[in-house]
């Protein structure tokens, strides 16, 4: 399986979309220091600046991750090379786990590089290294955020392995985002704030986490529960997808 993972890494690195999404993440997150400047005019709070970044980057990074995952998980189906790969003796389970491992690492790196770009841009803007959020808080925030990204990646993977179509997978992935945002809007208009339900929606978790940053509640159990929900969803979705793929008839 190790060989499969290495091969998958090298193969995916040749796709132009990988480099485009990484560049987009760096440019978009790095440019968000402008939003921080606006925040600094409202209140002298470095925590508020971080909160603005988390709030503004949530939907953008989720969309970029959906695009990247949808392309990579269906690339072999679109190029009709799945059967050739499996005919070399690679088991379906090994193929699937290699795919998921590589895509998980790619999206993790995408998010990490984007956050680093923001941190560097913020340091340059402030003409020195300043931090109002502790390393531990950043680790918790980043960990929960990445788990939310992986939930979406798992949903997109499931759609991709079922449909085998890049177009259907991308449209469905973005469609899921729209449905989630609409659901949040309906709850807001109805005056219903069900935190249990909201903790199950990845985009809402990312956006609501900005409140935790400002209030200094990143160590709060309610925030950690969002990560637990995400982890459960990731396991269930990927196990289900793997079982489906092992039985799928590939032409």
Task: Give me the chain's average pLDDT, please.
Answer: 79
Q: Which pLDDT value is given to residue 55?
A: 67
Residue 42 — pLDDT band, cuts 50, 70, 90? very low
Sign of CA dihedral 140, 22, 132, 209: negative
- Is the model's pLDDT at 145 over the cut of 90? no
**Model-level pTM?**
0.84
Rounded Cα gap, residues 33 and 143, in angstroms: 22
Structure confidence by residue, pLDDT tens digits, 154-207: 999 999 999 888 888 888 888 888 887 787 777 667 666 555 556 667 777 776
Instruction: For tokens 């059967």, name the residue.
Output: 83
Structure confidence by residue, pLDDT tens digits, 60-86: 888 888 888 888 888 888 888 888 888
């Amino acid at each position: 399986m190790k060989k499969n993972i290495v091969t998958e890494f090298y193969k995916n690195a040749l796709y132009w979309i990988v480099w485009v999404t990484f560049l987009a993440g760096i440019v978009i997150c790095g440019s968000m220091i402008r939003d921080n400047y606006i925040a600094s005019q409202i209140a002298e709070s470095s925590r508020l600046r971080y909160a603005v970044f988390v709030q503004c980057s949530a939907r953008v990074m989720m969309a970029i991750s959906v695009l990247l995952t949808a392309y990579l998980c269906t690339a072999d189906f679109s190029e009709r090379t799945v059967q050739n790969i499996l005919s070399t003796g690679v088991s379906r389970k090994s193929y699937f786990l290699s795919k998921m491992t590589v895509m998980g690492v790619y999206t993790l790196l995408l998010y990490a590089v984007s956050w680093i770009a923001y941190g560097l841009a913020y340091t340059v803007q402030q003409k020195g290294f300043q931090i109002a959020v502790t390393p531990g808080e950043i680790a918790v925030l980043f960990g929960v955020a990445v788990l939310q990204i992986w939930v979406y990646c798992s949903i997109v993977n499931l759609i991709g392995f079922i449909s085998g179509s890049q177009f259907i997978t991308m449209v469905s992935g973005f469609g899921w985002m729209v449905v989630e945002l609409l659901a949040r809007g309906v709850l807001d208009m109805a005056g219903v704030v069900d935190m249990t339900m909201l903790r199950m929606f990845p985009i809402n978790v990312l956006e609501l986490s900005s409140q935790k940053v400002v209030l200094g509640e990143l160590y709060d159990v309610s925030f950690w529960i969002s990560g637990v929900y995400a982890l459960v969803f990731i396991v269930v979705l990927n196990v289900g997808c793997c079982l489906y793929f092992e039985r799928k008839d590939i032409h």
